[in-house]
């Protein structure tokens, strides 16, 4: 096996309501309701639609004990109607709700950022080593009884870390970093291992795809170092809707799945929950089809760091490569004149010889291998090892595939290569792609990888029972008012659970504060609190104008 071949990470199997994940099981897909959990009829109906779409699990929020207990009623109703899909309770801030949910659901998600520690306030806290050790003892004392309730009821646990809701304690010691996110999960995993409780799944998410991918890789390494093999749930939080949400999710999830990492996924879209399932299934099917394919061979180039890859070094030719931003090869963007095409399916030796014979040309690398991104990466590393520093531009032709399929496949393939350091440019081809669509998809992938910002990015949650306004219509209205702006990140969040935290990665935030009321943020600072929703968009525009970031729409 080569480091570029597709091979699933071997994880521990965890049973969740009779539908196991991890081990040799297929990658599972799931979604989350956005109904009120106290709306039994509405929640049952939505769970059925999600299950009918092909979800293996359905998650519901539980703000309090009432909601947690009602998930048990919803589950009973579903069983009476012939639906056996396992239900997962989503808990924030309220351990009592977690204990109640453990008795009536199949899995309980807890957030280490607020299960024991208080809600995040962005305050800097100082601890001596002894004081920090005492905090870890406090986690043990709070988490261990919950483990025992889950053990008694055969309920699995998801330890779900979110970049947007790290505790002040973790932030103070590790900063707002992937290392801090990993440690937040490991603190709880160590308690579980000590208590010999292994029915655990882990998720470690961020709205920033680069942070999400690095953090999951770090978590895998941290678990390996301590002899752990818990299965992983993958997702990009607040990905948004439409094509942008699909691209962002496919870049992050697809990159990790291609490395064999991931046992269950959720594509979080600000759309109806059942719309997430076909996207997730298509992404899983595309990546997992590589299983058992011929090896692409190859090894990492010397000095390559697979956890935090740096850009492959190249010497610029015709404005491509070197320190230039990644080029999009398409009419109206960048066209190539001085290039030679290498086929990654050929031997590395023949490609290296061809590259050496053309030291003044850009290397366009294509492949016919089913593992497209792995094949191209293997050749790129062979070229680097051979001392060849020509710019490398991957080119993939997706043939007659529909545009929607090309969007997901290209995001997964090119997203992985960009995040892994092949950043001179991208060339997407497809029989059904017109030039405008090709450019739009390519720029969307580059924006998701934070390598080239060409439009406003919306960090928007998918909505759940905690959401305090109609998320889909609100996101649409915010987009209509601001989508002409360039280079800004605007968050549209249904509640405060992850809102302020994910706002730290946004320029402006629109966050549900109470029923019919919104708070506006500039970066992570709340600048207008509890304003009527009817006034929120004009006041968001005024905030952007007062900060000097507003541009009038073109006529």
Q: Give pLDDT tens digits for 136-151.
A: 999 999 999 999 999 9
pLDDT at 5: 96
Q: Where are the beta strands (DSSP E) in 21-142?
A: 28-32, 57-61, 87-90, 107-110
Residue 425 host element (H or E): strand 425-429
Residue 555 has pLDDT above 70, yes or no: no
* Distance (Å, whole) CA 29 – CA 36: 22
Q: Distance (Å, rounded) from C-alpha 164 to C-alpha 496?
A: 10
3-state secondary structure of 53: coil
User: In sequence order, which residues have a C-beta less than 8 Å from that of residue 175 and are 6 or more positions away?
Assistant: none
Q: Is the pLDDT of residue 198 over 70?
A: yes
CB 241 within 8 A of CB 201: no
Q: How many CB atoms lie within 10 A of CB 501?
A: 25
What number of residues does the chain have?
555
Question: Per mean pLDDT, which range of 424-428, 498-502, 528-532 is the poorest?
Answer: 498-502
Mind listing the pLDDT tens digit for each residue in 209-220? Answer: 999 999 999 999
The Cα–Cα gap between 407 and 428 comes to 10
Q: With 80 as the cut, is the pLDDT of residue 466 above it?
A: no
Other residues' Cβ atoms within 10 Å of the Cβ of residue 495 = 21
pLDDT at 75 over 70: yes
The Cβ of residue 72 has, within 10 Å, a number of other Cβ atoms equal to: 16
Phi, psi of 213 (to 5 degrees): -65, -45
Tell me the pLDDT band of 496, cut-offs 50, 70 and 90: low
Percent of the chain with pLDDT over 70: 95
Mean confidence (pLDDT) of the chain: 91
Contact at 8 Å (CB) between 495 and 510?
no
Angstrom distance (rounded) from CA 297 to CA 347: 10
pLDDT category at 500 given cuts 50, 70, 90 is low
- Evaluate if residue 260 carries a pLDDT over 70: yes
Rounded to whole angstroms, how far apart are CA atoms 251 and 229? 24
Beta bridge partners of 110: 159
Smallest CA-to-CA distance from 536 within 522, 547, 555, 520 is with: 520
Instruction: Say what the pLDDT of residue 166 is.
Output: 81
270: three-class secondary structure by DSSP: coil
Question: In what order do the strands lie in the sheet containing 327-328?
Answer: 327-328, 425-429, 392-397, 362-366, 339-343
Better-scored residue on pLDDT, 132 or 222 = 222
Structure tokens at 440: 């739009």
pLDDT of the residue at 277: 97
Q: How confident is the model at residue 6 (pLDDT cuts 50, 70, 90)?
A: very high
Average pLDDT of the segment spanning 1-10 = 94
In whole angstroms, what is the distance from residue 555 CA to residue 551 CA?
A: 12
pLDDT at residue 498, rounded to an integer: 55
Closest Cα partner for 219 from 207, 229, 206?
Answer: 229
Instruction: List the one residue out of 355, 351, 373, 366 whose CA is nearest residue 418.
Output: 373
CB 259 within 8 A of CB 287: no
Dump pLDDT digits (tens) for 83-133: 999 999 999 888 999 999 999 999 999 998 888 876 555 566 777 888 888
User: Locate tokens 């968050």: which residue?
Assistant: 491
Confidence class for position 521, pLDDT limits 50, 70, 90: confident
Say if pTM beats, i.e. exceeds, 0.75.
yes
Sheet holding 508-514, edge to edge: 457-460, 489-493, 508-514, 517-522, 525-532
Residue 264 has pLDDT above 80, yes or no: yes
pLDDT at position 493 over 90: no
CB of 527 closer than 8 Å to CB of 509? no
In DSSP terms, 396 is beta-bridged to: 428
pLDDT at 503 over 70: no
How far is residue 251's CA from residue 75's CA, in Å, rounded to a whole number? 34
Confidence of residue 462 (pLDDT cuts 50, 70, 90): low
Q: What digits encode the pLDDT tens for the residues 376-408?
A: 999 999 999 999 999 999 999 999 999 999 999
Confidence class for position 472, pLDDT limits 50, 70, 90: confident
The pLDDT value given to residue 118: 66
Residues above pLDDT 90, as percent of the chain: 70
Please report which helix (H) or strand (E) contains residue 438, including its range. helix 435-448
CA 478/CA 537 separation, integer angstroms: 7
Structure confidence by residue, pLDDT tens digits, 317-361: 999 999 999 999 999 899 999 999 999 999 999 999 999 999 999
β-bridge mates for residue 157, sequence order: 108, 200
SS3 54: coil
- Is the pLDDT at 507 greater than 70? The verdict is yes
- 531 compared with 31, residue with greater pLDDT: 31
Using only the alpha carbons of the chain, give its radius of gyration.
24
Lowest mean pLDDT among 53-62, 305-314, 466-475, 499-508: 499-508
Residue bearing tokens 């655990």: 200
CA atoms within 13 A on the CB side of 376: 28
286-297-418 Cα angle (round to 5): 55
Amino acid 196: pLDDT: 97
Q: Between residues 486 and 24, which one has the greater pLDDT? A: 24
| pLDDT of residue 239 exceeding 80 | no
pLDDT of residue 116: 84
Range of lowest pLDDT (72-76, 150-154, 308-312, 523-527): 523-527
pLDDT in the model for residue 342: 98
pLDDT, tens digit (0-9, with 9 covering 90-100), for 293-309? 999 999 999 999 999 99
Return the HEC string of 494-540. Answer: CCCCCHHHHHCCCCEEEEEEECCEEEEEECCEEEEEEEEHHHHHHHH
């Amino acid at each position: 096996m080569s480091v570029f071949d597709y091979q699933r990470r071997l994880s521990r199997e965890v049973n969740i309501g009779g539908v196991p994940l991890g081990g040799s099981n297929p990658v599972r897909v799931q979604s989350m309701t956005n109904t009120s959990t106290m709306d039994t009829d509405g929640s049952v109906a939505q769970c059925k639609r999600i299950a009918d779409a092909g979800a293996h699990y359905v998650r519901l929020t539980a703000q309090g004990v009432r909601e947690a207990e009602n998930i048990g009623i919803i589950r009973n109703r579903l069983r009476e109607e012939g639906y056996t899909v396992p239900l997962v309770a989503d808990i924030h801030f309220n351990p009592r709700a977690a204990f109640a949910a453990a008795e009536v659901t199949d899995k309980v998600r807890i957030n280490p950022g607020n299960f024991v520690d208080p809600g995040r306030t962005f305050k800097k806290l100082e601890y001596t080593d002894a004081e920090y050790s005492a905090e870890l003892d406090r986690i043990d004392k709070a988490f261990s009884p919950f483990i025992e309730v889950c053990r008694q009821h055969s309920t699995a646990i998801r330890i779900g870390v979110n970049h947007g809701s790290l505790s002040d304690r973790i932030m103070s010691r590790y900063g707002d970093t992937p290392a801090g996110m990993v440690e937040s999960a490991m603190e709880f995993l160590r308690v579980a291992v000590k208590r010999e409780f292994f029915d655990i799944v882990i998720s470690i998410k961020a709205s920033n795809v680069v942070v999400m991918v690095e953090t999951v890789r770090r978590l895998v390494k941290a678990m390996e170092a301590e002899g752990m093999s818990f299965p992983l749930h993958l997702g990009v939080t607040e990905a948004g809707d439409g094509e942008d949400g699909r691209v962002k999710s496919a870049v992050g999830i697809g990159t990790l799945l291609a490395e064999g990492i991931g046992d269950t996924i959720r594509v979080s879209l600000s759309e109806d929950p059942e719309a997430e399932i076909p996207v997730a299934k298509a992404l899983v099917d595309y990546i997992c089809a590589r299983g058992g394919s011929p090896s692409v061979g190859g090894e990492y180039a010397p000095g390559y760091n697979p956890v935090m890859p740096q850009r492959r070094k190249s010497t610029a030719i015709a404005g491509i490569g070197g320190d230039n931003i990644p080029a999009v090869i398409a009419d109206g963007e960048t066209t190539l004149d001085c290039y030679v095409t290498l086929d990654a399916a050929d031997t590395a030796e023949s490609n290296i010889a061809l590259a050496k014979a053309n030291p003044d040309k850009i290397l366009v690398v294509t492949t016919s291998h089913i593992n497209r991104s792995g094949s191209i990466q293997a050749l790129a590393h062979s070229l680097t090892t051979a001392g060849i520093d020509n710019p490398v531009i991957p080119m993939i032709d997706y043939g007659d595939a529909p545009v929607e399929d090309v969007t997901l496949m290209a995001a997964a393939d090119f997203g992985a290569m960009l995040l892994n350091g092949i950043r001179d440019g991208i060339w997407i081809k497809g029989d059904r792609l017109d030039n405008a669509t090709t450019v739009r998809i390519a720029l969307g992938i580059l924006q998701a990888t934070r390598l080239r910002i060409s439009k406003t990015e919306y960090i928007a949650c998918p909505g759940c029972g905690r959401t305090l306004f109609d998320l889909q219509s609100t996101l649409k209205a915010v987009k209509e008012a601001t989508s002409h702006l360039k280079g800004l990140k605007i968050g549209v969040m249904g509640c405060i659970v992850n809102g302020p935290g994910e706002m730290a990665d946004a320029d402006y935030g629109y966050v549900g504060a109470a029923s019919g009321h919104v708070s506006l943020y500039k970066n992570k600072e709340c600048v207008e609190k509890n304003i009527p929703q009817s006034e929120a968009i004009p006041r968001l525009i005024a905030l952007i104008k007062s900060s000097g970031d507003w541009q009038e729409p073109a006529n």
